[in-house]
Amino acid sequence: MTQIDNHLTILDRLVAVNLNITIWSARKKLTAADFGGVELPPEELASLGSKKICDPERLRIFATLKARAVSKLDSLGIRFLGGWAIPEDQAAAVHELLLKLRDEFLSAKDDFLNSYDQGIQKWVDKHPGWERLIADSPVSAEQVRSRLGFKWQLFKVAGPDPNNSASENLVNEIEALGQTLFGEVAAEAKTIWQKVYAGKTEVSHKALSPLKNLHRKLTGLSFVEPRVAPVADLIETAFKSMPKRGLINGPHLVLLQCLVALLRDPMSLLEHGQKVIDGHSPNQVLQTLSPPPETEEPETLESPVFSEASSPQFVDSLGLW
């Protein structure tokens, strides 16, 4: 398969998503007039900040809905062309989710605008003595309406034209998909480590949920880079060794901590994925993993939980062989 054919194969299995959610800031720039015309230093030396002309809490719902949309796209796709590339077989589900979030957004928008004037007055009443600061910065409900929006586009990307130099950027984006994916996985794994595994001597089965999300993402995007599927296999193999119920501790927890340490390093992901391609089984690769070199609680490195990992038999004790 030629390089161009490979690019076309990848693009054929992807759908691009562009998300455009706008949220009114409810802020206006402070001016000298807001303070009775006092003399201020020149702007090249110092500048005033902004004033909040509406209760920020009333706008929180819009930021929450935007965060949910971004989180879902991050969980399924890769950042691509200013938006995301998602597996084509997930396009319908993403569209349905975005429709639901948009409906919630528009409903919240109507609620906000229907009580807009009352909300501004409550904000004024909450800050006696500063009424003029808010009242002198009127923004009509119709102006706010135009600044609250929830839109998106789903589209296919045409393959690069080898005879057109303008296609070079697209080629670079396609060829970087694998590294971008591993970089995103590593960033999420760092968060998982800090929130779930750092310093722990036992965890519940809920600790597997964020790793299952990463596994789902890698599996869905396994076609963008040959070493993605082997990394997904490593995670699945680790899952199969976990006890079906009860707390996860001892060598089982060590294995998960080693796995998260691997996922935090994009270069190690490439290296260990290649080992599987070269003929090593996922079990063999898991046996070579080491616990994280750093943690917020250094004493855990000397604990019995981590000392088990230094034994060549610790993976055997999980029944991986």
Looking at residue 302, its pLDDT comes to 35
| pLDDT tens, position by position, 265-289 | 999 999 999 999 999 999 999 988 8
The string of pLDDT tens digits covering residues 72-112 is 999 999 999 999 999 999 999 999 999 999 999 999 999 99
Tokens of 279: 């003929």
Question: pLDDT class for 40, splitting at 50, 70, 90?
Answer: low
Measure the CA–CA gap between 271 and 289, rounded to whole angstroms: 12
Q: What percent of the chain has pLDDT over 70?
A: 83
What angle separates helix 60-76 from helix 91-114, to the nearest 10 degrees?
Answer: 170
Calculate the dihedral angle through the C-alpha atoms of 165, 170, 174, 179, rounding to the nearest 10 degrees. 100
Angstrom CA distances, 232 to 38, 115, 138, 170, 254, stand at 63, 50, 54, 27, 19
Least confident span in 35-39, 47-51, 161-165, 191-195 = 35-39
Measured CA to CA, the distance from residue 113 to residue 123 in angstroms comes to: 15
- The chain-wide mean pLDDT, for the chain, equals 86
Domain boundaries, the chain: 3-155, 177-318
